[in-house]
Chain A
Amino acid sequence: MAKQIIFIITLALTLGVFAYTVRRLYYFFRITKRFPIKNYAKRFWLMMNVSFLQTKIFRKPWIGFLHALVFWGFCVILLGSVEMIFDGLTGSERAFYMEGFFYKFIFASGDIFALIILFAIVVFIFRRLFLKIKRFSARELSHRNHIDAYVALSLILLLMVSLLAMNVFYCVENPVPLKGFYPISSFLAVYLKDMEHESAVILYELSWWWHILLIFLFANILPYSKHFHVFLSVPNTFFSRLDPLGKLPNMDTITKEIKLMMNPETAFATPESGTAVIERFGVKDVEDITWKNYFDSLCCTQCGRCSSVCPANLTGKKLSPRKIMMDVRARMNQKGPGIIKNGKDFDDGKSLLNNFINKEEIWACTTCNACAKECPVNINQPTLIVDLRRFLVMEESSAPSGLNLMFTNITNNGAPWQFSPEDRMNWAKDLKISCKYD
């Protein structure tokens, strides 16, 4: 009974903190713009493919495979955690237990996966510490970002150690019936067979608490860490764009404006007063992004695969698609609370563009979509980069001179270069084809 009460209190505390976090994020999301979601069935299959089959992570096959194992392991182990919470709440003992294959299979998988994840995490930590992986040493990663990575990895490591400890002591305790099947832990338990039953019971209880408290801690650290990815990746693939990568979203406000201009009846009419709310073109700050852009930024775990394939980044330019995502998240943390308190017009004298992302980064993009293709969780960086350009061009007229010249040429002579439309057929002059006769 005491255990139950303590458990309920800790769970309530965990949920309380979590609710606070969710509420804060909810208000941040309310600042952002629309991004309509349709086609649920298609999205579901996309999610199954990218998330559950981990298809995109395999673009780097070896390390991708390790990640996939961690992900699949988490899915199986999650079932055990749900049971633990149920047990804690009701005071039951392995409440989901049922005779037969299924329960044994799940817990055997969990036991094996715990060891596999442990191994993978050790590899990940080793890689970060000792192998000079270029994408982990980029300039946009601060000391804090590195610490964040190690904290998350260490927490997962401890979660797996505690889970294995729990299983091992359960096997040592050896109750009748032993619920589930633990191939790794029962093997390890053999080495502890001389342990007193009493001690095994206490150690089992301790590791149970250790594991569940770590889960609660983990759940509440994640939303403030790059590893929020653990929660958001699956939904992010569900919400991701279904369009081909080459397609940019249309700006309907501009279509409306051009159609008014082109229509002789409306072109010279005085605009109806009061109806026109002038919206900013493109993205300057976090209130201009869509909620999906913000979701992308929260979901980004800074793996840097995007930047490692970015042609601009590879050739030493300042642009890093990963940094764009990190900047969006950081800027929302900075400006979001002010907007919530003071309303949409709140101005802190800074903006996403200029103070976080500078023009040099934005103009270096070739819109080649290598970043979006590479992202294992379907983040789309190029559309946001173009939105930032839209602001620079249509609100500030501050494109590089070469681009302004290109705009002028298209406007004046219908081609990006300065050639007369009259010469459009010059290429076809004196064109001959040879015909063969036998």
Chain B
Amino acid sequence: MQESKNIEIPIMADEFSQGREPEYLFWVGCAGAFDDRYKKVARAFTKILVHVGADYAVLGKEETCTGDPARRAGNEMLYQMQALTNIATFDNYKVKKILTICPHCYNIFKNEYPDLGGVYEVIHYTQFLQQLIRQGKIQIDSMVFNNKKITFHDPCYLGRANNEYEAPRAVLKAIPSQQVEMPRNKSFALCCGAGGGQMFKEAETGNKEIFIERTEEALKTGADIIASSCPFCMTMLTDGLKYKNREEEIFNYDIAELVVMALDI
């Protein structure tokens, strides 16, 4: 028997006013909040949080850009204004652990906020999922992906930037499926083309778009599913599939979505 339950997402301000201090701040990020495709990923990850009974809350309307795109585009002033604002908010709610779905948010909280006095335990959701799988809190025995080939595209800001190559792979491994690697993987992975502010501007003149180069590489593996774990990568790879007219047969899913589909929650 199956029954749907509404999810009420706890907001940090409400929790705090009732004297509660949730263990995790779930940082949704701008893409999770506003990008139509990535909203589905934010929803998927929330379902997992509820599924495992995590003690979490989101900032809701108090959330504001981490400053990452501004910083990497050279606008240090704007970045620091954002960062100091966020740090003040975190201090206000005594935030200690931050869960992010976006690797750019993950990187900036983990590596760059400490310079401005904001020190937290920052966890990328793939690391969180890996831990849950290890603890047996997530068990996947579904066969939905049994005959599917999945290839994983490493996001630069999780992989090269922070040396986390294993967590996303461990999660995929826990989903019964076939995994294939692209020739350029892990520390050799090719960028999707969206980092460093590229997401928000026209690409410089060249002879190819980076996202097409990467999509072609993914397609060559013969995978049915391109798994990603970053909102920017998702935009790029999904565009790439459309550009190659393969969006009807090959799908780009976020790892959180794959877990939710496999758990059927």
Cβ B161 vs Cβ A246 within 8 A: yes
**What is the 8 Å Cβ interface bit string for chain A, positions 400-429, against chain B (1 contact, 0 not)?**
111101110011001111010111111110
From B9, B80, B190, B209, A258 is in contact (CB under 8 Å) with B80
A residues 252-307 near B (Cβ < 8 Å) are 254-255, 257-259, 262, 281-282
Cβ A410 vs Cβ B69 within 8 A: yes
Cβ B30 vs Cβ A415 within 8 A: yes
Cβ A364 vs Cβ B78 within 8 A: no
Cβ B4 vs Cβ A434 within 8 A: yes
Cβ A258 vs Cβ B70 within 8 A: no
Show 18 residue pairs from A and B whose CB-CB distance is below 8 angstroms, ordered by the A residue.
A246-B157, A311-B213, A315-B206, A315-B207, A364-B206, A369-B160, A389-B72, A399-B74, A406-B197, A407-B75, A424-B34, A424-B63, A425-B33, A427-B33, A433-B7, A434-B4, A435-B5, A437-B1
Determine how close the nearest CB of chain B comes to the CB of A364; give it in whole angstroms: 4
Cβ A435 vs Cβ B3 within 8 A: yes
B156 within 8 A of A: yes
Q: With A406-B70, A433-B5 given, is the CB distance from A244 to B162 under 8 Å?
A: yes
Stretch binding the partner chain, chosen from B107-115, B126-134, B247-255: B107-115
**Residue on A with the closest CB to B103?**
A246
Complex CA–CA separation, A436 to B235 (angstroms)? 33
B61 within 8 A of A: yes
Chain B residues with CB below 8 A from A315, complex form: 193, 206-210, 213
Task: Name B's A-contacting residues (CB within 8 A).
Answer: 1-7, 9, 11, 28, 30, 32-35, 39, 42-43, 46-47, 50-51, 58, 60-61, 63-65, 67, 69-78, 80-82, 84, 107, 110-112, 115-116, 156-157, 160-163, 187-188, 190-191, 193-210, 213-214, 264-265
Complex CA–CA separation, A354 to B105 (angstroms)? 32
Chain A residues with CB below 8 A from B193, complex form: 311, 315, 366
The number of chain A residues touching the other chain, given as a range, is: 35 or more
Cβ A390 vs Cβ B74 within 8 A: yes
Chain A residues with CB below 8 A from B9, complex form: 425, 428, 431
A370 within 8 A of B: yes
A76 within 8 A of B: no
Candidate in B47, B72, B82 with the most chain A CB atoms within 10 angstroms? B72
Determine how close the nearest CB of chain A comes to the CB of B107; give it in whole angstroms: 4
From B4, B42, B195, A427 is in contact (CB under 8 Å) with B42
Chain B residues with CB below 8 A from A419, complex form: 33-34
Cβ B64 vs Cβ A414 within 8 A: yes
A335 within 8 A of B: no
Determine how close the nearest CB of chain B comes to the CB of A198; give it in whole angstroms: 59
**Residue on B with the closest CB to A414?**
B64
